[in-house]
Amino acid sequence: MSTEKQLYTVSIYTENNIGLLNRISAIFQRRHINIESLNTSPSEIEGVSKFTIVVNMDEVNIKKILGQIEKQVEVIKAYYHNLDDIIYQISGLFKIKSELLFEERQIQNIIKESNARIVTVNKDFFILEKSGKKEEIVTLYNQLSKFGIMQYTRSGLIAVTKEEMKISELLETYNN
């Protein structure tokens, strides 16, 4: 098992519970593990939520963390994956002065080459959205920052796995 640190996603299927975020984040906090990103959303199963947490850890310890997470009463199942085992996306939003769109021709090229999407334009600003790997969004940020970015934000990573998750089957076995 790898003792080298790398980025892992932890996917946690849970009941939709108001206190669970606190309970799960405390597991990381107590062990002084920094959460790189965190996303919660509904999952493919009605009434089941999914956390996607990105951490930089070694495999030995991430397995222990997983045990602690699965021990929580309202956690159904937790998985960890390295980035090769998942399909993931991160989204970045950029707010830029509208005048730059017309004054700086290079910006138009950047938008085109990066496959970024203009979400909205008004007379003061336009909003650019880019989904992809973190590096792609960082590259776009670096390209745009020299022109001045009014606001910038990046979402947490969301992912689906290449392997099957079988949560519904698992819930069946718990119920029988």
Which of 74, 63, 124 lies closest to 96 in space, CA to CA? 124
Q: Which is nearer to other proteins, 11 or 49 (CB)?
A: 49
Q: Which is nearer to other proteins, 102 or 174 (CB)?
A: 174
Which of 152, 166, 10, 170 lies closest to 88 in space, CA to CA? 10
Q: Which is nearer to other proteins, 76 or 100 (CB)?
A: 76
Residues that bind other proteins (CB under 8 A): 14-23, 26, 30, 40, 49, 63-64, 67-68, 70-71, 73-76, 171, 174-175
Considering the complex, what minimum distance in angstroms separates the CB of residue 11 from other proteins? 15
For residue 112, the SS3 value is helix
Considering the complex, what minimum distance in angstroms separates the CB of residue 161 from other proteins? 20
Q: Is the dihedral of CA 96, 101, 106, 107 positive or negative?
A: positive
* Structural contact between residues 90 and 133, judged by C-beta atoms closer than 8 angstroms: yes
Considering the complex, what minimum distance in angstroms separates the CB of residue 26 from other proteins? 5
Q: Which is nearer to other proteins, 78 or 157 (CB)?
A: 78
Q: Angle of helix 59-70 relative to helix 20-30, nearest 10 degrees?
A: 150
Partners of 90 in beta bridges = 132
Considering the complex, what minimum distance in angstroms separates the CB of residue 72 from other proteins? 8
Considering the complex, what minimum distance in angstroms separates the CB of residue 32 from other proteins? 14
For residue 145, the SS3 value is helix
Q: Which is nearer to other proteins, 69 or 116 (CB)?
A: 69
